[in-house]
Amino acid sequence: MIDRRLVSSFDWLLLFLVLALGACGVINLYSAASSFTGAGMAVYVKQAYWFGLGLVVMLAVAMVGPQRLSTIAYPFYVLVVILLIAVLFWGKVIGGSQRWLALGPMVIQPSELARLAVVLVLASFFQRRDQTEPYRLHQLLLPVGLALVPALLILKEPDLGTCLLVLMVAGSVILINGVKLRDLAIAGGGMVVALPLVWRFMKDYQKQRIFSFLDPESDPLGSAYHLIQSKIAVGSGQFMGKGFLAGTQSQLHFLPEQHTDFAFSVLAEEWGFIGGMVVLLLVAAIVYRGIATAYRTKDRQSLLMVIGGTAMIFWPAVINVGMVLGLFPVVGIPLPFVSYGGSSLITTMAALGLIQGVAMRRFVFHRP
């Protein structure tokens, strides 16, 4: 059943990189959440379980492979859109936004599935069109629409961070697939022109949200304060770090959300520049494995799936680390493998499964 070439072509280096990064994440969570008291499993143990489950998901997605995945792309996309609509009506409200949907005993976050669905549906779409020339703007209306539908539904929850991720991942796939340079310039210019127009039609409270997103200092909740504390944590780590479990910023709870969005601050405080660099290099290596796999891929659909999967790891990593280091405004996006969170981890592993699935089939594409 299983072609031996599938096993021999499996990207073992990629798997090793993922295992190494996952291990860093679990160890860091042991420290970041060590001062949490409360019943139930420790956070780092839960993360380890999620990681294990994630590996299974990765293998499953890889075994199914790009061709069969494309046959379920559209039904899967429709299902996710339905779930996203359902979550607006029946979702659980936590922290002022409605993101979680209870299906029997399971609680899922449909917005996490959205990125995957958009990647699959776009790859499938461009495969069917199979056009070698760069795309013109009018030809892109449909794929952009396919990305906008779930993105806007997620924005409504509201979950600005995940909405941006969906758009960035979709944008990566569309750009790699090819857009005529002139049209790209027109689209960019058009967006700049349209912005004030959109602004005029926005409600006051929506504008307020944008303001506090662009300027955290205006947020009385003090995301500016959180940013200062995060920078103090990272900076005080210096070259060698304060040592495992010895980060004062994190152990004394100066950091907000220190096991999720700000997990990297804890790591940088305790492991210093060395630790931060290792994690960044591991993420970069994973991203480069993805790009390299895409480069060797001859089939457009597989190539775009690989690019989508890679973008699903690259963008949240850049945005999260950029935020923690004070380069971007505070937006709640977890760092893949390092931040605690089951659904985010599973989605990331599914993205890796897309890459592995194509890598495994390098030599078995056009079966007679």
Partner 1 sequence: MNLSQIPKPASVGGRGLEPGENPNIRLALLTAAVLVGLALVVLLGRLWYLQLLKGEHFRLLSENNRIRLVDLAPSRGLIFDAEGRLLADNRPAFTLAVIPEDVGDWAVLTRRLHNLVGLSPEEIAKARRAAQGAPPFKPVVLRNHLDRHQLALLETFRYELPGVKVLVRYQRAYLAPRMAAHVIGYLGEINKQELERSNRAVYRMGDWVGRYGLEKSREQVLHGRRGARQVEVDAMGREIKLIKEVPASRGADITLSINLDLQKAAAKALEGRAGAVAALDPRTGQVLCLYSSPTFDPNDFITGMSTKQWKALAEDPKHPLKDRSISGMYPPGSTYKIITAAAGLAEKAINLTTRFFCAGQMPFGNRYYRCWAYKKGGHGYTDIHKAIRESCDVFFYKTGLKLGVDRLAKWARAFGLGRPTGISLPHESPGLVPDSQWKKKRFKEPWQDGETLSLAIGQSFTLVTPLQMARMTAVVANGGMLVTPTLVKTVTPPGGEPVPAPEPVKTRVPIAPEHLDTIAKGLAAVVNEPHGTARRARLPGITVGGKTGTAQVVGLKFEKSFGDEENVPWKYRSHALFVAYAPVESPTIAVGVVVEHGGHGGSDAAPVAAAVMRAYFGIPEPPPKAEPKPKAAPPAQPKPKKKPARPGAGT
| Residues in 39-78 that interact with partner 1 by CB under 8 A | 67, 70-71
> Do the beta carbons of residue 319 and residue 333 sit within 8 Å?
yes
Supply the DSSP symbol for 86.
Answer: H
Place of tokens 């299974």: 56
Work out whether 108 is an interface residue with partner 1 (CB under 8 A).
no
User: Per-residue x/- mask for partner 1, residues 2 to 21, rule CB under 8 A?
Assistant: --------------------
User: Per-residue x/- mask for partner 1, residues 118 to 137, rule CB under 8 A?
Assistant: ---------xx-x-x-x---
Work out whether 364 is an interface residue with partner 1 (CB under 8 A).
no
Supply the DSSP symbol for 107.
Answer: E
> Do the beta carbons of residue 54 and residue 349 sit within 8 Å?
yes
User: Per-residue x/- mask for partner 1, residues 291 to 320, rule CB under 8 A?
Assistant: x--xxxxxxxx-x---x------x---x--
Q: How far is the CB of 269 from partner 1 (least distance, A)?
A: 8
Q: Closer to partner 1 at the Cβ: 57 or 69?
A: 69
Q: How far is the CB of 172 from partner 1 (least distance, A)?
A: 8
Work out whether 348 is an interface residue with partner 1 (CB under 8 A).
no
Work out whether 367 is an interface residue with partner 1 (CB under 8 A).
yes
First-last CA distance in the chain: 16
Residue 261 exposed, middle or buried by CB count within 10 Å (0-12, 13-18, 19+): buried
- Count of residues in contact with partner 1, rule CB under 8 A: 73
Contacts to partner 1 from residues 87-106, by CB under 8 A:
93-96
> Do the beta carbons of residue 336 and residue 58 sit within 8 Å?
no
CA 180, CA 192: separation in Å to the nearest integer?
A: 19
Supply the DSSP symbol for 246.
Answer: -
Tokens, residue 318: 């850049």
Beta bridge partners of 92: 100
Q: Closer to partner 1 at the Cβ: 51 or 264?
A: 264
Work out whether 327 is an interface residue with partner 1 (CB under 8 A).
yes
Work out whether 322 is an interface residue with partner 1 (CB under 8 A).
yes
Q: How far is the CB of 350 from partner 1 (least distance, A)?
A: 21
Phi, psi angle pair for 262, to nearest 5°: -105, 25
Contacts to partner 1 from residues 210-249, by CB under 8 A:
217-222, 224-225, 228-229, 231-239, 248-249
> Do the beta carbons of residue 183 and residue 137 sit within 8 Å?
yes
Rg (CA), the chain: 21
Q: How far is the CB of 193 from partner 1 (least distance, A)?
A: 25
CA 360, CA 2: separation in Å to the nearest integer?
A: 11
Work out whether 201 is an interface residue with partner 1 (CB under 8 A).
no
Q: Of these, 254, 262, 337, 340, which contacts partner 1 (CB under 8 A)?
A: 254
